[in-house]
Structure 1
């Protein structure tokens, strides 16, 4: 009987030790971060391997950034709304291919700038000049400002008046 209790305690302590070592191993295991490129837009992100795996499972083995993922979901929903049978929806692969085609057409339609820094400076300069050239609103858009029948700060003005009066009397006494 005593041996049974000792064995039970040792078994419990061993299972606690095993759980603790497993938890410690999991805690010390560092999540590796990898750079991954979106197959649609080309955006490069740094993500953990577990996250990359989940995204690839969701998008038929392809890595897709969050923005493109939303566009793919929207593409699928629009395809369902366009079809006469509301239950028919575009497959994930078809939606991804459609979005990839759209991104490719967009990238090929614009040419990359020769000097992006210079073009950025010119754009900021144009915005600044437009802001400076715009007419100032000195008037109140042709409307009269809202008039008040009495001040919101009447109690403060009364206190200030009393203080001013006291100060004037003190100055009169000092000058005599």
Structure 2
């Protein structure tokens, strides 16, 4: 009996779990997007993240596959309603539009729970040689407004499995980035 208790204790001690969360110093919770008009405004392109985090650009979230857009030189992102189902989004530098795209609700994005869901996915880690963790993972990202009306982006992740097929681990967390709304 004592051997079983010691064995269980050893497994419990060896199992690592954790939750990580980071964001800017003035981080607030998500507000609600009720209508497409709630998104209208001009936002700073450079996000405010946790200290020590590298630069995070709103233009890179909106146009992740555009390698021709110089994200670090985009100053602002302008969002305007065209119709109750359409938005026009512009990347602006020194008053000059560098990129412009029209997005249609229901086709290009959806608003769920007052937020825009992006990049939801998951899979199994450890299928490639050299990966130390074997187990499932989940990733998601959301874009919306914080409770004070500024832009907010959240990346979330969770994973569980075995590190080097020995050490059980379960970890999850999120990182928030704030994009200052310069004008409505």
> TM-score of the superposition, structure 2-length normalised?
0.24
Q: Which has the higher strand share?
A: 2
Structure with a larger share of its residues in helix: 1
Radius of gyration: which is bigger? 1
